[in-house]
Amino acid sequence: MSTVDEHTPAAADAKPMRTAAAESLRRLLQRPLASYYLVLGSAGLLLVLGMVMVFSASSVMSRVQFGYPYYFFARQLAWVIVALPFAWIASRMPARLIRRFGLPMLVAAAMLLTLTFVPGLGVTRGGNTNWLDLGGPFLIQPSEPAKLALIIWGAGMFALKGRLLAQWKHLMIPFIPVSGAVVALTIGQHDLGTALVLMAIVLTLLWVVGVPTWLFGLALGVVGVVGAYFVTASENRMSRVVSFLDPFSDFSGTGYQAANSIYAFATGGWWGSGLGASRLKWGQLPEAHTDFIFSILGEELGLPGALMVLGLFFTLGFAGIRIAMRTTDTFTRLAAAGITGWLIVQAIINLGSVLVVFPVIGVPLPLVSYGGASMVVVIVAVGILMALAKEEPGAREALAARKQARRERRRSRRAHA
């Protein structure tokens, strides 16, 4: 077996190319607006890919139930159109203004969560009473805005306390009781998946704000105990945990979704069956356009498509962490870390369920899965993350310089017209 010596001409040419590529990447990341455009680019591509996959995954169900293949796609498009102006407004807000919305958002979210327990208003789907019927087409899931509200309120509250955070009691009160109440309301709806995401948000904020190791370990232990209790207390949840170890042992029962998810990836193979050519979306895979949309994506687009989604979420997570690390403002750091932790943890839970690494928990894939309230809230959260990216050193100056350059170009074109 021959090997290529590092001193050969080919190796000598490759090394400067790798060095030049690394240097170009380093220079790009040093630009003040790098995080801003990484968030915009990765989230935008995930959203576009999600729209394509929602249409593909739901077209058969739409035709069977409503007579035409565009029903779910049209609804998703409508929610995106509603969300984008709010995200644009959020992206142009300074951090100090976003911070003021924390408490009103949390109060409103808590009220909506409470209303789901009122007979006639709360709607049960899939065993979870986590939907609120406001009449007509207005059916929302209050736990989705509660995620963003908890992040903005928590970040603002910790930033307000400042030096008092050196005392552990100020780290806990009122954050732990309030966040515990929000999680309790979600658990009361029997929505353990969303409750786990909320717990992950709480742990993220506590970690970033700098709680002592023993206190963070205690909080992590409490989350583990609470999660284990509610899993073992429900026969349905317990059967899901047991069946995910071998979905085919109860193929027609608790392992049905996980087993068919495996079949979807196997059917697509390495390169996929082609966009729109999924077999599992013809009724075999439940929730194909919502929680299990990644299975259809893997079946149709194969490994390249799956890796593209993973790469985009990695880029989004990298940009969010970069914002949190580069800013000097406490609120910006906590809010950026909270939003990033929420989106990435929820993506990991969804992908883990679809790939049968975790039990089927039932949370959507952010920016990709079909959903109304969840899609609107996630898009607005991305807008807020873009606003927070402007708090990085030199970012606002760079934006102002670009606006000035555009105005100068327009003046120059008018002068030559």
Q: What are 18-72's pLDDT values in tens digits?
A: 776 776 667 777 787 889 999 999 999 999 999 999 999 999 999 999 988 999 9
What predicted TM-score, i.e. pTM, was given to this entire model? 0.91
| Euclidean distance between CA atoms 247 and 260, whole angstroms | 9
Evaluate whether 175 touches 154 at the Cβ level (below 8 Å): yes
User: In sequence order, which residues have a C-beta less than 8 Å from that of residue 396 and are 6 or more positions away?
Assistant: 390
- Residue 4 scores a pLDDT above 60: no
List 133's β-bridge partners, or say none. Answer: 139
Find the helix or strand (DSSP H, E) in which 63 lies.
Answer: helix 34-66
Burial (CB count <10 Å: 0-12, 13-18, 19+), residue 129: middle
| Euclidean distance between CA atoms 382 and 380, whole angstroms | 5
| Other Cβ atoms closer than 10 A to 217 | 11
- Residue 303 scores a pLDDT above 50: yes
| Euclidean distance between CA atoms 45 and 42, whole angstroms | 5
302-314: b or e for each residue (b if 16 or more CB lie within 10 Å)?
beebbeebeebbe
Q: Would strands 128-133 and 139-140 be described as parallel, antiparallel, or unpaired?
A: antiparallel
- For 311-340, the pLDDT digits (tens) are 999 999 999 999 999 988 999 999 999 999
Which tokens sit at 61?
């169900």
Burial (CB count <10 Å: 0-12, 13-18, 19+), residue 214: exposed
> Which of 336, 373, 365 is closest to 349 using CA atoms?
365
Find the helix or strand (DSSP H, E) in which 72 lies.
Answer: helix 71-91
What's the length of the chain?
417
Which tokens sit at 21?
């590529």
- Residue 6 scores a pLDDT above 60: no
Report the pLDDT value the prediction gives residue 125, as an integer from 0 to 100: 78
- Residue 1 scores a pLDDT above 50: no
Evaluate whether 283 touches 307 at the Cβ level (below 8 Å): no
Average pLDDT for 388-403: 82
Average pLDDT for 126-147: 80
Give the SS3 label for residue 238. helix
> Which of 417, 366, 405 is closest to 43 using CA atoms?
366
- Residue 389 scores a pLDDT above 80: yes
| Least confident piece of the model among 16-25, 39-48, 112-121, 254-263 | 16-25
Q: How confident is the model at residue 139 (pLDDT cuts 50, 70, 90)?
A: confident
Q: How confident is the model at residue 121 (pLDDT cuts 50, 70, 90)?
A: confident
